[in-house]
């Protein structure tokens, strides 16, 4: 499937059993024991540098309809909004939940916690999906860091199921809508590296959630107009969608700055022109931090099905990446 142009490859069969008492235990197990399968599915020649995937696992929360692990070119993320949108539609279409019109509720357990998706169903056909995030919050506002090759850059840290450094692209002499993708990727990657060196992140609930996933460069628009951004995560991987967890983080940052009120919808645009909407639906305390629940909405579409094999004599069986 894809959401806003960003791929999501959903594993339907072939993975061995994944043990673990909690979903974070399962995430740790696949990272330590089954990472060769991630490389098979995400890397070339079966995937590509910017491929993204989902591994369904057994939920450990009684309220969850399904549970998933997210994977990318470098490992396993704690949250993925574009995949959540795709999974909502997928769950309805595959009969993982009972189909209810005009909207079907799907609880998806992600590594960061449970999120609730609401899938529009009209005359039996699943369409637009919105989901309510885990508790999102602003961890840092108006911090400064020296970025190699660019000088000092002002940035924020927002959490939307994953942590992002968020900065205006103009500080790098770039424009999200007109600059070349490779220049934006270089700047965002440099910002991520600089922040990782300078700042130790913490999360109130679990140390496995305390990781800087990537950076989001924006057009600087923080009012009611559509705002464009590019998200560069994992190993310089580019999100083709506006980034669901990134939209969540940006809305949390805006709420912390009193730039948006509860119930006010905002639109975010990606580098390929796809859009998602975000709206703060409620306040929620995360540990001792003032946080919010954000509703993110978008559309996912099917692209096909595939079966993959690895022949024993294949020297590239576990995949490779060309940078």
Q: What positions carry a catalytic annotation?
A: 80
Encoded tokens for 103: 């909207």
Angle (deg, nearest 10), helices 81-93 and 244-256: 130
What contacts 306, CB < 8 A, 6 or more positions away? none
Would you give the DSSP letter of residue 150? T
What contacts 183, CB < 8 A, 6 or more positions away? 172, 174
Contact status, residue 300 vs residue 1, Cβ threshold 8 Å: yes
Torsion of CA 221, 223, 225, 228, to 10 degrees: 30
Place of tokens 């991987």: 237
DSSP secondary structure string for all residues of 92-116: HHTTSS---SSEEEEEEEETTEEEE
Contact status, residue 75 vs residue 85, Cβ threshold 8 Å: no
């Amino acid at each position: 499937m894809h959401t806003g142009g960003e791929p999501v490859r959903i594993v339907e069969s072939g993975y061995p059993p994944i043990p673990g008492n909690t979903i974070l235990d399962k995430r740790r197990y696949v990272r330590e024991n089954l990472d060769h399968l991630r490389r098979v599915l995400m890397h070339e020649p079966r995937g590509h540098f910017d491929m993204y995937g989902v591994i369904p696992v057994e939920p450990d929360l009684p309220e969850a309809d399904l549970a998933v692990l997210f994977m990318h070119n470098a490992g396993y993320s704690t949250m993925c909004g574009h995949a959540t949108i795709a999974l909502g539609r997928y769950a309805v279409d595959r009969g993982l939940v009972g189909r209810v019109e005009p909207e079907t509720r799907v609880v998806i357990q992600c590594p960061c916690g449970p999120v609730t998706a609401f899938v529009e169903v009209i005359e039996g056909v699943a369409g637009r999906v919105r989901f309510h995030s885990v508790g999102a919050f602003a961890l840092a506002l108006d911090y400064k860091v020296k970025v190699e090759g660019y000088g000092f850059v002002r940035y924020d840290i927002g959490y939307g199921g994953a942590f992002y450094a968020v900065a205006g692209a103009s500080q790098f002499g770039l424009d999200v809508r007109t600059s070349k993708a490779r220049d934006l990727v270089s700047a965002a990657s440099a910002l991520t590296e600089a922040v990782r060196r300078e700042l130790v992140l913490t999360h109130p609930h679990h140390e496995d959630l305390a990781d800087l996933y990537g950076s989001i460069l924006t057009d600087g628009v923080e009012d009611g107009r559509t705002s464009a951004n590019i998200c560069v995560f994992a190993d310089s991987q580019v999100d083709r969608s506006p980034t669901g967890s990134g939209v969540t983080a940006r809305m949390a940052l805006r709420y912390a700055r009193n730039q948006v009120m509860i119930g006010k919808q905002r639109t975010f645009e990606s580098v390929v022109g796809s859009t998602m909407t975000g709206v703060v639906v409620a306040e929620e305390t995360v540990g001792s931090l003032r946080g919010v629940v954000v509703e993110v909405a978008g559309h996912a579409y099917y692209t096909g099905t595939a079966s993959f094999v690895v022949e024993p004599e294949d020297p590239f069986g576990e995949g490779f990446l060309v940078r």
